[in-house]
Amino acid sequence: MGAGFAGVECVRRLERKLVPGEAEIALVTPFAYQLYLPLLPQVAAGVLSPQSVAVSLRRSAKHRTRIVPGGVVGVDTKAKIAVVRKITDELDYERYDHLVLAPGSITRTFDIPGLVEHARGMKTLAEAAYIRDHVIAQLDLADASQDPAERESRLQFVVVGGGYAGTETAACLQRLTTAAVKRYPRLDPRLIRWHLIDIAPKLMPELGERLGQKALEILRDRGIEVSLGVSIAEAGPDKVTFTDGRVLPCRTLIWTAGVAASPLIGTLGAETVKGRLVVTPEMSVPGLDGVFALGDSAAVPDLSKGDSAICPPTAQHAHRQGKALADNLIRKLRGQPLQPYVHKDLGLVVDLGGSDAVSKPLGVELRGLPAQAVARGYHLMALRTNVAKTRVLTNWTLNAAAGDDFVRIGFLARKPATLRDFEYTDAYLSPEQVREHTESLVAKG
């Protein structure tokens, strides 16, 4: 269940290693693509087209896998039945011998007044497309406005979250508005202000002291106002209040302050750690026969660190866990002992747009064009089809040669979207509802 990095890699490896007739594979996912999440900020900035980061499952998966268009909304672990809500909103079910849970994560929120109503996320392809339209719309509306107060509020943008998603989102979108304002002769470029804030004392601490400081300097040199040790106290339709007391006129609040496990995990009645499903080092769920979990929703022990550490919810971990779990499923089918997941870190890459980047491959600190080459080379290798690689490389080349475009496509133009509109968090069933639907669905045959 799930077509993110973990689920897709697990399926691909099963297809390659299983003998024909040895098993039947079904992949339950609402979309027939794998979203390449690390490049989503570049979709929001218009550097890449949405299709470029939506890797077709029907190209990357072989014909052995049956793709079920829907999402698992509950599991009857005793009957070994997964309840599926299809994209038509009808409920169906899938029987299983072995269930792999890779439902991923949703945007983590806090009890901050106005946050859910007025913030936008950066977790789905639709959100990235919406944010691009929204940001360009603010420039259009500010250019047409005769009210200085309205113009100021439309030209201030706040991104919350100093991790990779937030930092790259702020960097890419700030680059977009800097290029776009040249097409608006009535707008003063000095009025456009981007704010990146995070409650943590350092920006992307995973990069280390020197590289993290360099990333901070790059952002500030480009005019992005970075505030650390600060978060949001209240969000409104045309202003944002920071925890340090500042009140900014603002109509664009982008929230990237972490992720939480899929709500599906809370319906299983199994043990969790910070919302993530407890699993063994082999990624099986204790007490649930035939159930495995990995990726963002599973608390997979990080044996390389020890001391009860769990793997962070990153694409690199999810990708490798998918391979390791596929191998364990094959071992289980063939009566062989399972092997624990052990991770070896390959490093980090951060693309800040243009020639700005910082990278740390295999512990080597890079910045500027060398870092950009490593970052983009890594992304090209990680994309799973040659078609996706060609599209991304072509988009990068076109953007470098021709520059940005500033076209709004009118996506949800008259509907103010909120954090929850794109993530379908209300689709899941309680354990009681699962049992009820399981009984009725099975009775109908």
Task: Report the top-level CATH class of 5-107+260-345+425-443.
Answer: alpha beta
pLDDT band at 413 (very low <50, low <70, confident <90, very high): low
Tell me the pLDDT tens digit for each residue of 350-377.
999 888 999 988 788 899 999 999 999 9
Give me the sign of the Cα torsion angle 272, 277, 280, 286.
positive
Write out pLDDT tens, residues 181-204. Answer: 999 989 999 999 999 999 999 998
Q: Is the dihedral of CA 202, 206, 208, 213 positive or negative?
A: negative
**Whole-angstrom distance, CA of residue 341 vs CA of residue 301:** 8
d(CA 190, CA 234): 26
Tell me how far the alpha carbon of residue 138 is from its chain's centroid: 25
- Region 89-104: mean pLDDT is 94
User: According to the model, what pLDDT value does residue 60 have?
Assistant: 66
C-alpha 292/C-alpha 192 separation (Å) is: 48
d(CA 141, CA 150): 9
pLDDT, position 61: 61
Query: Which positions ≥6 away from 138 have C-beta within 8 Å?
Result: 154, 155, 157, 251, 252
Distance CA 171, CA 182 (A): 18
Q: 261: which strand partners?
A: 105
Residue 323 burial (10 A CB sphere; 0-12, 13-18, 19+): middle
Q: What are phi and psi of 72, to 5 degrees?
A: -75, 125
Neighbours of 341 (CB within 10 A): 25
Instruction: State which H helix or E strand residue 213 sits in.
Output: helix 209-221
Give the domain ranges of the chain. Answer: 5-107+260-345+425-443, 109-257
* CATH number 3.40.190.10 given to 109-257: no
**pLDDT of the residue at 50:** 92
Question: 199-219 pLDDT, tens per residue?
Answer: 999 998 888 888 999 999 999
320 three-state secondary structure: helix
CB 206 within 8 Å of CB 166: no
Tens digits of residue pLDDT in 3-61: 999 999 999 999 999 998 899 999 999 999 999 999 999 999 999 999 999 999 987 66
pLDDT digit string (tens) for 122-142? 999 999 999 999 999 999 999
Chain position carrying tokens 């954090």: 419
What is the spatial distance between Cα 139 and Cα 156, in angstroms, rounded to a whole number?
Answer: 10
Topology match between the domains 5-107+260-345+425-443 and 109-257: yes
- Say how far apart CA 32 and CA 39 lie, in whole Å: 18
Question: How does pLDDT run across 389-399, given as a tens digit for each residue?
Answer: 999 999 999 99
Residue 107 has what DSSP assignment?
E
Total residues found in the chain within this entry: 445
